[in-house]
Copies of this chain bind each other. A is one copy, B any other.
Amino acid sequence: MKAQALHGHLDALLLAVLEQGALHGYAIIEALRARSDGNLDLPTGTIYPALRRLERAGHVASTWSTVSGRERRTYQLTDSGRRALAGERAGWREFQLTVGRFLDPGNPPTPA
């Protein structure tokens, strides 16, 4: 998976994994890796800033907890985040269709 391909879609992915339930940062990374069969193995330097961006935007809320001596920041989707996710899904659909018109096979530009 080319790295920079994610540009602009990461927020949507994060919101999508949090849709199933609250997770802490490290667990989000693992969830992305698991659900993508290892295709998405994102470094912390990508995830943590992105989560803070989403929190600033009000799409997620975080709460600290201590689990067996380790500090965890758990993120959960807000209502705003749920709405944003719906918008991201629509945007993804449009993007997919638009780019697919050029890159998907069986899309002849000038049909016979």
- Tell whether A83 is near chain B: CB-to-CB under 8 Å: no
Q: How many copies does the complex hold?
A: 2
Q: For chain A residues 73-112, which have a beta carbon within 8 Å of chain B?
A: 88-89, 91-96, 98-105, 109-110
**Are B12 and A103 touching (Cβ within 8 A)?**
yes
A residues contacting the other copy or chain, number (CB 8 A): 36
**Which residues from chain B contact A4 at a C-beta distance below 8 Å?**
7-8
**Are A13 and B110 touching (Cβ within 8 A)?**
no
**Are B1 and A98 touching (Cβ within 8 A)?**
yes
Interface residues of A (CB under 8 A from B): 1-9, 12-13, 16-17, 20, 35-36, 39-40, 88-89, 91-96, 98-105, 109-110
